[in-house]
């Protein structure tokens, strides 16, 4: 794009299809809740936490993940989770996000104070409050902007241990006769059943099922029964894959887990990461996989800053495989992953994209619209179509105002 500006990106309608609740707290809220709940932090000032925990650059993935031990510690009650979700909705709305899918692992927050189901209810309550406040405001009522909508994606974990949450501790203790992969799969199945029940009986806006956590050594196939279960009930599927493992992880996501979207997909083109000895022509394997994703419109949730922080082999945005994804016509959406941990928002991610990847105006618009078209929208197909039309009209209005 030869012609763009910060205001234009700020005011166009944006989506965020890949944002983790426990990685997107307000720093001030984390400090306040930690003090209230008696949770020890390395610092009780925002600057101190930025210096010690939530940095602009991280030395390793382990350092990046360190912050989650503090954020999840304050997410053990309905009150705290509802507030965190509400504030995330507010922050997204304030920067022009008009559709977002917030993902989190309910079992990671469940314990004596909070059930798995209640954690989902709390997230729904917080986001609903943010949505209703905005959609009932004069800005929307008078037609000065379009509405905000959201969906919830629940995450199963590829692996876990007893120290991650009271729920996991109890599960591991009660299923000691099973192997670890079997326990991980059973936890996913239990989550899948609870999710379907919440959607069917309470009509909660859970729009997707996800699989998060370490890829290498923890294949998605261990969780295929859970994915088959939600698939039967028409719940959409996404899988963290191709982030820390190669093309085979993406292939497994779409063939074993029926993935409608791929979380990250960063190593889609990494032929050297293919381990299966049966794959003789690695180049053809990658070509066929990329073409399949493109033709089937299986979306790729790209998180630029997060990838730069956790994958040292990617030296810059200009070297990020998103460039090749766009070139090949894949349905790419730009997402934040973790707003706090990665010190970012959607506007920043889009600015990173246009400053480092040569794009035409048409290509940029396609990326923006792809985020809305690829959404697991909590309504009918016609509801979604009507909303996407509003998005396109609003985008065109901003082009005339800021670029023409």
Active site residue 243: yes
Q: Scan for tokens 């997060």, then name that residue.
A: 306
User: Which residues are 209's β-sheet partners?
Assistant: 154, 237
User: What separation in angstroms does the CA of 135 have from each of 140, 297, 391?
Assistant: 6, 30, 15
Closest CA to 119 of 88, 80, 157: 80
Distinct helix (H) and strand (E) counts, the chain: 18, 8
Cα–Cα–Cα angle for 125, 131, 133, nearest 5°? 100
Angle at which helix 116-135 crosses helix 78-94, to 10 degrees, equals: 30
| Structural element, H or E, at residue 304 | helix 304-310
**How many of the other CB atoms lie within 10 Å of CB of 365?**
17
- ∠ Cα 375 378 382 (to 5°): 80
Please tell me the distance from the alpha carbon of residue 94 to that of residue 336, in angstroms, as a whole number: 15
Report in angstroms the alpha-carbon separations of 311 from 252, 315, 316, 330: 21, 8, 10, 22
3-state SS assignment for residue 299: strand
Gap between the Cα atoms of 95 and 6, Å rounded: 11
- Of the residues 101, 215, 243, 349, only one is catalytic, namely 243
Please give the positions annotated as active site. 243
């Amino acid at each position: 794009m030869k012609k763009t500006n910060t205001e234009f990106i700020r005011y166009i309608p944006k989506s965020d299809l890949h944002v983790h609740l426990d990685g997107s707290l307000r720093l001030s809220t984390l400090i306040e809740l930690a003090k209230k709940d008696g949770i020890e932090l390395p610092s009780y000032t925002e600057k101190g936490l930025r210096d010690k925990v939530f940095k602009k650059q991280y030395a390793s993935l382990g350092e990046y993940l360190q912050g989650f031990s503090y954020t999840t510690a304050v997410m053990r009650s309905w009150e705290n989770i509802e507030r965190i979700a509400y504030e995330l909705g507010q922050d997204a709305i304030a920067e022009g996000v008009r559709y977002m899918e917030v993902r989190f692992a309910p079992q990671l927050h469940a314990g004596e104070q909070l059930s798995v189901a209640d954690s989902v209810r709390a997230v729904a309550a917080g986001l609903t409050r943010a949505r209703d406040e905005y959609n009932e405001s004069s800005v929307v009522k008078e037609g000065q902007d379009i509405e905000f909508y959201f969906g919830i994606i629940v995450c199963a974990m590829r692996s876990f241990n007893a120290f991650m949450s009271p729920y996991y501790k109890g599960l591991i203790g009660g299923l000691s006769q099973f192997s670890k992969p079997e326990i991980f799969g059973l936890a996913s199945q239990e989550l899948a059943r609870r999710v379907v029940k919440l959607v069917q009986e309470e009509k909660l806006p859970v729009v997707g099922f996800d699989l998060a956590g370490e890829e290498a050594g923890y294949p998605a196939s261990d969780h295929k029964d859970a994915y088959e279960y939600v698939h039967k009930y028409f719940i959409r599927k996404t899988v963290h894959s191709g982030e820390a493992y190669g093309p085979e992880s993406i292939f497994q996501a779409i063939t074993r887990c029926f993935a409608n979207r791929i979380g990250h997909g960063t190593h889609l083109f990494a032929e050297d990461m293919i381990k299966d000895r049966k794959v003789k022509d690695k180049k053809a394997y990658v070509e066929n996989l990329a073409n399949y994703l493109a033709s089937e419109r299986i979306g790729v949730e790209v998180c630029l800053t997060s990838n730069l922080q956790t994958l040292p082999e990617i030296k810059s945005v200009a070297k990020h495989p998103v460039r090749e994804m766009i070139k090949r016509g894949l349905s790419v959406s730009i997402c934040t992953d973790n707003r706090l941990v990665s010190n970012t928002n959607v506007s920043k991610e889009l600015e990173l994209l246009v400053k480092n990847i040569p794009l035409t105006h048409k290509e940029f618009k396609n990326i923006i619209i792809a985020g809305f078209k690829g959404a697991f929208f909590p309504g009918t197909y016609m509801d979604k179509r009507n909303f996407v039309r509003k998005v396109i009209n609003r985008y065109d209005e901003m082009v005339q105002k800021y670029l023409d």
